A = this chain, B = another copy of it.
Amino acid sequence: MDDLDRRIVALLIRDGRATYAELGAEVNLSAPAVKRRVDRLLDEGVVRGFTAVVDPAAGGWRTEAFVEVYCSGAISPEALRHAWEGIAEVTNAWTITGQPDALIRVLATDVRHLEEVLERIRSAASIDHTETAIVLSTLVDRRVPASG
């Protein structure tokens, strides 16, 4: 993971479909040399894969919310993961420090749908209660810290 790797990764974050020739032109390397590095980065898990960045609203997901989850008793993170992975509308979930045990990001079509998802979240594990905050606007949207 040298400086060349970091530059290639930064370029691939900006354009995940950039050709090896284009990447090579930016970092002064031949296309095969770039490919070998990208293959190695994929192998090492530095780059997990490539994906399309989709506008959720275009798919009808117009309501976004964060749900703080307070559990009752001891529940393993693995049990929570298993329960929430099966709920399609749960896009992200983390266990966290502080008063709530977990934080969930939910995408729903509307508030009515959100309420229905919250019921499924609560019934999927022995949960004490939840606190929901609806997203008003997205101010910053990156996956990793800004670089260049």
Contact = CB atoms under 8 A, between A and B. Distances in A.
Given A81-B139, A142-B92, A49 B53 contact: yes
A3 interface: no
A93 to B, nearest CB: 4
Given A17-B17, A58-B44, A145-B107, A133 B50 contact: no
Q: Quick one: copies of this chain in the complex?
A: 2
A74 to B, nearest CB: 14
Interface residues of A, number: 65
A135 to B, nearest CB: 5
A51 B14 contact: yes
Interface string A51-78: 1111110110100101000000000010
B94 A138 contact: yes
Interface string A103-143: 11001000000000000000000000001111111111111
Given A15-B51, A92-B140, 7 more contacts: A16-B50, A17-B17, A47-B55, A54-B143, A85-B140, A91-B144, A96-B134
